[in-house]
Amino acid sequence: MSINRFALTAALLVASGHVSAAVLYSQLDNASGTNAVAQKVEAMSQEFDTEGADDFVIPNGTSWSISNVSVSHTGFNARSTVNVIFYTNNAGLPGTATCTYNALPATNNSGALAITLPTSCQLSAGTHWMGIQVNQDFSAGQVGWNTRSTLSNNASAWRNPGNGFGSGCTTFAARTTCNGTGGVNNPDNLFSIEGSSTVASTEAIPTLSEWGMIILSSIMALFAFAHYRRRGN
């Protein structure tokens, strides 16, 4: 009895992907020499709470598992922590939060804050945003996210819900339109993202009904073969 190797391979096929670890995205070039405040301050001054955000694009057919980020900041105190929030894209601005990490420790490497996420953020293909907010009281100094002179994707976003800086940007808006943020003439921020990238398999996965047909066909073939052997004997 010969084995139908094609049918056997199809019946046993499973989805697979190619996984690699790398710097997934980087915007650490073309520093402008300016910065935009992105800071959560003490409660008595909360009208000055601000958050910056910038976007990145995950290529079609891939998904990312983000484990580390690096952010170029000015004025960070070693005792401070960082809030990192990933958002969906909403018409060129941050939308709904998908992964939120509060009060993370950061290592200051010559002005670049290295931040390890306690759990990886899983994101699919498309445009996403990363928001940054340093937890630091005014008494320890003002903190700014360093800006970039060139533009990639959408311009960076910024918000100051309490409008303490008088910009009018109480919800996310393009930072270049928000007076009082600092660095309004430079459209992007300096950051990078690390983790692993998974490329989706191009091989089709049989549906439940297709698996049923494969199993039924195999059973029928076995019965037919058994019947043939009996008649032959």
More confident residue, 3 or 70: 70
Task: State mean pLDDT over 54-69.
Answer: 97
According to the model, what pLDDT value does residue 180 have? 80
According to the model, what pLDDT value does residue 166 have? 95
Nearest C-alpha neighbor of 134 from the set 157, 161, 115: 115
Task: State mean pLDDT over 114-141.
Answer: 97
Q: Cα(first)–Cα(last) distance of the chain, in Å?
A: 15
According to the model, what pLDDT value does residue 210 have? 64
Looking at residue 86, its amino acid is F
According to the model, what pLDDT value does residue 167 have? 95
Domain ranges of the chain: 18-199
Residue 3 has pLDDT above 70, yes or no: no
According to the model, what pLDDT value does residue 60 have? 97
Residue 61 has pLDDT above 70, yes or no: yes
Tokens coding 180: 């009082």
Residue 224 has pLDDT above 80, yes or no: no
CATH 2.60.120 is the classification of domain 18-199: yes
Residue 233 has pLDDT above 60, yes or no: no
Provide the pLDDT confidence category of residue 116 given band limits of 50, 70 and 90: very high
Residue 226 has pLDDT above 80, yes or no: no
According to the model, what pLDDT value does residue 205 have? 56
According to the model, what pLDDT value does residue 181 have? 85
Residue 62 has pLDDT above 60, yes or no: yes
Task: Give this prediction's pTM.
Answer: 0.78
Q: What is the pLDDT of residues 95-104, one digit of tens each?
A: 999 999 999 9
Nearest C-alpha neighbor of 128 from the set 210, 62, 178: 62
Residue 14 has pLDDT above 70, yes or no: no
Least confident of 87-101, 125-139, 201-215: 201-215
Nearest C-alpha neighbor of 99 from the set 115, 81, 86: 86
Q: Residue 210: left (phi > 0), alpha (psi -120 to 50), or beta?
A: alpha
Least confident of 10-14, 25-29, 64-68: 10-14
Q: What is the pLDDT of residues 68-88, one digit of tens each?
A: 999 999 999 999 999 999 999
Least confident of 51-65, 116-130, 152-166, 191-205: 191-205
Residues 6 or more apart whose Cβ sits within 8 Å of residue 165 = 37, 48, 50, 180, 181
